[in-house]
Chains A and B, each alone.
Chain A
Amino acid sequence: MIWDTWKKGFDAWESATAKLMEEMLKSPAVLWPSGAMLTGAMKAKTAYDRAVSQWVGAAGVATKRDQERMLHAIHQLESKLLDLEEKLSQKNA
């Protein structure tokens, strides 16, 4: 009984709070500065990563991005091989 009453109160509070927070999170007054902060932080991270990779690259070592490009190229080659395999099996059919 006590639990049920408490739960009804909780549900009402939760629903009202969620609605309020949704309005707040939709508001440009919150959304725009948050977006700007996130974008700024991302740009700072990118600049830092770029500086580090330039330094590593200058030492003649493959950077993380180089390795990613290489691996991606290998995956693309694999895909092209699968394309060829499909075409070949169609031609043989």
Chain B
Amino acid sequence: MKRLLNLAARVTRPAPVGTTPADVVLRENKWKLLRYRRPAGSPPPRETPVLLVPSLINRHYVMDLLPDRSMAADLVARGHDVYCIDWGTPEDEDRFVTFDDVCDRYLGRAIRHVASTSPRSKAHLLGYCLGGTLAVIHAAARPEHVASLLLLAAPVRFKNEGSLLEAWTQSPTFGVRPVVEAFGNVPWQLMQSAFHMLRPTLNLSKLVHLLDRAESGEFLDGFFALETWGNDNVSFPGACFERYIEELYRQDLLARGEFRLSGRPVKLGAITCPVMAVTFEHDNIVPAASASCALDMVSSTDKVHLHLPGGHVGAVVSRGAQRSLWPKLSEFFAARDADAAPQRVEARRVAKAPAEPAPREPAPREPAHVAPPGRGHTNGHANGHTNGHAKAEAPIVDKKRKARAVASPAARKKRATRSP
């Protein structure tokens, strides 16, 4: 009875996702750059700001899931000045938006803006999933404003023998161009169906686990927040998708060192800044080997590999992540906050099994339905994305004009010391 009451109470009210107050400091086409507000009276932030780069096909608020379970808010509380890209919702005309537009023009502008607020003219990049791939490509082609690079389950090598996603994308009868020509932007419904097919029994499994753990209000809050996020997907800009699948998935050009960004060669060996790669043991979307290989390709001497239990999403947003993963992210940035940071020797270390392991997810799947603190749950929130997104937008204040008016005398003087 208590389980049913708990469920009923949560089904009728939308999950409060993405509620950490943030200001829009930059806007272009559909994407926005958010800056999370620091609580009044808090000490000045660390020298180098942090830019969160989420995946293109999911909403950014996975990094700011719930008021008491927000990676962004956690970083802010630990003294970082935190920015996040909200890629927005592509519309029909964005079918022509290319990979170069996203990874070079948009991401580049965000990085330059964030770096301009730091005396070092640099920013820490934290890329999650495809956002990490974008970040590593950009850092390799234009490393000048990147202080350090943190890759959270970010695929770099796309050839993974045995992976279901790889089998599908490599199928000779599957044509990427026909899909893009037919739809323009690749519909999120199509991508979500594909992710459902990665484990067709997942929804049933989640339903059973939801009933099993429905007595815990905390579990249900996390569950419905993730369901809201998981059902709030966005379509992939067509031209960008075509290049992503053809050149990264099918030809593996990034790992082979043959990828080009706006005509510039992308060699991961050009990355010399500190790099941390975080991989997850039960991540079937981005196998650990696909992400950790970045460390073997970069020229950095300061590199860290953190291998944790858990799945692609659960290990990033769960209570376990709050205790084991998030402090390590902050420590990594804090230790590399200033140019005069202590000399670091090569620090390639693999940390396994944290004190409080993140929960294992019941099954693989990126955009939807991954267990938060527990295991399975159900797809019981079909319309949650509308409400969730409206909630996410609520605390954001447009500061576009303010951002453009940075040419005050003080700001000009400050900028004079920066590299172009």
Q: Which residues does A use to contact B, with CB under 8 Å?
A: 3, 7, 10-11, 14, 17-18, 21-22, 25-26, 28, 31-36, 38-39, 41-43, 45-46, 49, 64, 67-72, 75, 78-79, 82, 85-86, 89-90, 92-93
- A3 and B91 alpha carbons, distance in the complex (Å): 47
Q: Are A7 and B212 in contact (CB under 8 A)?
A: yes
User: How close is A72's CB to chain B, nearest CB, in angstroms?
Assistant: 4
Q: Are B415 and A7 in contact (CB under 8 A)?
A: no
Q: Are A68 and B415 in contact (CB under 8 A)?
A: no
When C-beta atoms are compared, the residue in chain B nearest to A89 turns out to be B407
A32 and B178 in contact (CB under 8 A), knowing A14-B205, A72-B96?
no
- A7 and B182 alpha carbons, distance in the complex (Å): 44
B29 at the interface (CB under 8 A from A): yes
B28 at the interface (CB under 8 A from A): yes
Q: Are A42 and B407 in contact (CB under 8 A)?
A: no
Q: Are A93 and B416 in contact (CB under 8 A)?
A: yes
Q: Are B167 and A31 in contact (CB under 8 A)?
A: yes
Q: Which residues of B contact A92 (CB under 8 A)?
A: 407, 412
- A17 and B112 alpha carbons, distance in the complex (Å): 49
Q: Are A49 and B182 in contact (CB under 8 A)?
A: yes
Q: Are B29 and A75 in contact (CB under 8 A)?
A: yes
When C-beta atoms are compared, the residue in chain B nearest to A80 turns out to be B105
Q: Which residues of A contact B202 (CB under 8 A)?
A: 18
Stretch at the interface among B168-176, B274-282, B349-357: B168-176
Query: Contacting B28 at CB < 8 Å: which of A34, A41, A49, A82?
Result: A82
Could you pull out 26 A-B pairs where Cβ atoms are within 8 angstroms? A11-B205, A18-B199, A18-B200, A25-B164, A25-B168, A31-B168, A31-B174, A33-B173, A39-B173, A39-B179, A42-B178, A42-B182, A45-B182, A49-B182, A68-B96, A69-B93, A72-B93, A72-B95, A72-B97, A82-B28, A89-B412, A89-B415, A90-B420, A92-B407, A93-B412, A93-B418
Chain B, interface size category, equals: 35 or more
Q: Are B93 and A14 in contact (CB under 8 A)?
A: no
Q: Which residues of A contact B92 (CB under 8 A)?
A: 64, 67-68, 71
Q: Which residues of A contact B200 (CB under 8 A)?
A: 18, 21
Q: Are B182 and A43 in contact (CB under 8 A)?
A: yes
Among B146-174, those with CB < 8 Å from A are 164, 167-168, 171-174
Count chain A CB atoms within 10 A of each CB in B94, B97, B172, B201 and give the residue with the most. B201
Q: Which residues of A contact B204 (CB under 8 A)?
A: 14
Q: Which residues of B contact A22 (CB under 8 A)?
A: 164, 198-199
- A71 and B197 alpha carbons, distance in the complex (Å): 35
When C-beta atoms are compared, the residue in chain A nearest to B92 turns out to be A68
Can you name 4 extra interface pairs (CB under 8 A) apart from A32-B173, A42-B178? A68-B93, A71-B93, A72-B95, A75-B93
User: How close is B95's CB to chain A, nearest CB, in angstroms?
Assistant: 6
CB-based A-B contact count at 8 angstroms: 116
B184 at the interface (CB under 8 A from A): yes
Q: Which residues of A contact B212 (CB under 8 A)?
A: 3, 7
Q: Are A68 and B173 in contact (CB under 8 A)?
A: no
- A26 and B212 alpha carbons, distance in the complex (Å): 32
- List 4 A-B pairs, minimum CB-CB distance, nearest first: A35-B173, A93-B415, A71-B93, A35-B174
Count chain B CB atoms within 10 A of each CB in A42, A70, A86 and give the residue with the most. A42
B181 at the interface (CB under 8 A from A): yes
- A41 and B175 alpha carbons, distance in the complex (Å): 11
Scoring B residues 201 to 218 as 1 if CB is less than 8 Å from chain A, else 0, what string do you get? 110110010001000000
B397 at the interface (CB under 8 A from A): no
B264 at the interface (CB under 8 A from A): no
User: How close is A14's CB to chain B, nearest CB, in angstroms?
Assistant: 5
A14 and B201 in contact (CB under 8 A), knowing A45-B182, A72-B93?
yes
- A42 and B172 alpha carbons, distance in the complex (Å): 15
Query: Contacting A72 at CB < 8 Å: which of B94, B168, B172?
Result: B94
Query: Contacting A86 at CB < 8 Å: which of B91, B112, B171, B205?
Result: B112
B363 at the interface (CB under 8 A from A): yes
A78 and B168 in contact (CB under 8 A), knowing A42-B179, A93-B416?
no
Q: Are A43 and B178 in contact (CB under 8 A)?
A: yes
- A36 and B200 alpha carbons, distance in the complex (Å): 21
Q: Are B164 and A78 in contact (CB under 8 A)?
A: no
A21 and B201 in contact (CB under 8 A), knowing A31-B171, A78-B29, A82-B28?
yes
- A38 and B182 alpha carbons, distance in the complex (Å): 11
Query: Contacting A79 at CB < 8 Å: which of B28, B174, B184, B412?
Result: B28
User: How close is B250's CB to chain A, nearest CB, in angstroms?
Assistant: 13
